Structure 1
Amino acid sequence: MHRDHEVHLRRKGRNFGVLGVLLAFIVIVFGVTVAKIQTGGFSEGFDHVARPALVPSGAEEANE
């Protein structure tokens, strides 16, 4: 059997730290996605067109 060198032990600790940061990022992105889906945040697309939901109710008659 061989004993791990000190450098390998330090790298292992850093790798677990990076793993923790990546997992935290994934959990945050997943949580934001679930929250937006539950509140209806993805109901309108992002295709650079006018969104009728944002037009005030009196503005439609004023433009005609």
Structure 2
Amino acid sequence: MSLRQEHEIHTRRKGLNIGVGLLLGAFVLLVVLLTFTKITSSGFSIPASQANGVGEQVNTGASD
């Protein structure tokens, strides 16, 4: 069983595919870095609605 020569359309698209892959990787890296930076900042705190469980009502002390 012999290997066939790659069609020229695949050769032309290989550069485009590599470029799209690199851009996707850069975007994922950017999201990870921004998330890491936000979590490690000194002012980060989990909102009370998520810390106490979703759906629980938390008394904030404000009058209705």
Q: State TM-score, norm by structure 1.
A: 0.60
Gaps of 5+ in 2: 50-64
Indicate the percent of aligned positions where both proteins have the same amino acid.
43
**Count of equivalent residues:** 47
Question: Which runs of structure 1 show a deviation greater than 2 angstroms over 4 or more consecutive aligned residues?
Answer: none
Gaps of 5+ in 1: 48-64
Q: What value does the CA root-mean-square deviation take over the aligned residues?
A: 2.1
How big is the shift at 1:42? 3.9
Normalized per residue, the structure richer in helix is 1
* Higher RCO structure (Cα 8 Å, ≥6 apart): 2
1:3-62 CA distances to partner (integer Å, 9 max, x unpaired)? 1111111112211111100000000000000000000454153x7xxxxxxxxxxxxxxx
1:22 alignment counterpart: 24
